[in-house]
Amino acid sequence: MTPPWISTEMVTLAAAYAAGRLPHALLLHEAPGAGGDWLAKWTAQLVLCQRVTDAPCGSCAGCRGVATSQHPDLIVLQPIEESRQIRIEQVRELSEELSLTSHQGGYKVAILTPADALNRFAANALLKTLEEPPQRTLLMLVVTQPSRLPATILSRCQRVRIRAPDRQGAVSWLETTRGPGDWNAVLDALGEAPMLAADVDPAAVVQVGAEVRRALDEASTGSADPVATAERWVRSELPLRLRCIENWLTERIRGHYEGDSFFTKVGAGPYLPGANAVLNMGELFELVDGVRELKSALETPINRGLALEALLRRFVPGRGAIAAPAPSGRR
């Protein structure tokens, strides 16, 4: 089902296409799990649909080819599995492919997702194609963190912002798309990421989410055993657990901003002993970075157990950790 929170962007893109003003490069900047890939596929269908007056119809050979990623004029570039990076060889192949005439006499479309996985060399190689794109080419870069791309790339793409819907909108879309379920609890675990939630087993996520919350609450009160927890978590659902940890941290950061604590304590300066709002905020952000680093290092030959244990230790008070008040906005 069409995600209603993207409808404005869809209308804008369709109007630009109808008027012959569709840019050759789009940066689809999404909130995590808010539908960047979905909009990229929809836009590919828009330009590759065989029914001009009704595009994208969703049922012609063109639309179906895009939906199954089998269309000869659609190229999807994703990270090579082990490296988690989009590499220069992939971009060179893409450029060659784009320079050929399209199979069906229309557009050639490339989707790079997530484009923030382009490594430095690959980004440089892509620049040339962005500067001198062949006629009737559409490049779409799906990103959650555009700051990881060089400014030279960003400046050559038109940005389309995809924001996550509010909680109620996400839940009712999930109920329509996936049927009844405890979607509130799923989003509590994953964050406001409806597209991500639509792809999971809700019961399993709720269980893992509750377990992670309990462990982090225990860690921040000093009553947890990071070694045992890390050993257990490395063996099951680690990427999901990291997503839950990131969301747990984000909620606390939001709690600080929404509550009075940030504004009342910010003037106290960062050098007071013990926990204060400024230190806590800095540490929360550092922990978010730590989780993201671990996420992107998952496929590299690191010792995941040790890395996770080190991360969990940073939640323990007295080790540069959070003396976390419950976030004021929630719970």
Closest CB to Zn ion among residues 14, 60: 60
Smaller CB separation from Zn ion, 60 or 80: 60
Q: What residues line the site for Zn ion (CB under 5 A)?
A: 49, 57, 60, 63
Structure tokens at 220: 């921040």
The whole-angstrom separation of Cα 52 and Cα 119 is 37
Our CB check for Zn ion shows the closer of 55 and 94 to be 55
Closest distance of CB 35 from Zn ion, Å: 20
Q: Which residue, 57 or 238, is less far from Zn ion as judged by CB?
A: 57
Is the CB of 57 or the CB of 323 nearer to Zn ion? 57
Distance of CA 145 to the CA centre of its chain: 8
Tokens standing for residue 82? 């082990």
Least distance between Zn ion and beta carbon 42 (Å): 11
Strands 158-162 and 74-77: unpaired
- β-sheet bridge partners, residue 110: 75, 139
DSSP string, 246-281: HHHHHHHHHHHHHSSHHHHHGGG-TTSSS--HHHHH
CB of 60 to Zn ion, least distance (A): 3
- Taking each helix axis from N to C end, the angle separating 202-220 and 238-258, rounded to the nearest 10 degrees, works out to 60
User: Of the two residues 108 and 256, which places its CB atom closer to Zn ion in the complex?
Assistant: 108
Shortest distance, CB of residue 134 to Zn ion, whole angstroms? 23
Contact 162, 28 (CB under 8 A): yes
Shortest separation between residue 83's beta carbon and Zn ion, angstroms: 35
Nearest approach, Cβ of residue 50 and Zn ion (Å): 6
Between 61 and 228, name the residue whose CB sits nearer to Zn ion. Answer: 61
Strands (E), the chain: 25-30, 74-77, 108-112, 137-143, 158-162
Q: Which is nearer to Zn ion, 55 or 224 (CB)?
A: 55
Smallest distance from the beta carbon of 65 to Zn ion, in angstroms?
9
Q: How far is the CB of 39 from Zn ion (least distance, A)?
A: 16
The side-by-side arrangement of strands in the sheet containing 25-30 is 74-77, 108-112, 137-143, 25-30, 158-162
170 Cβ partners below 8 Å, 6+ apart? 164, 183, 187, 192, 194, 197
Rg (CA), the chain: 22
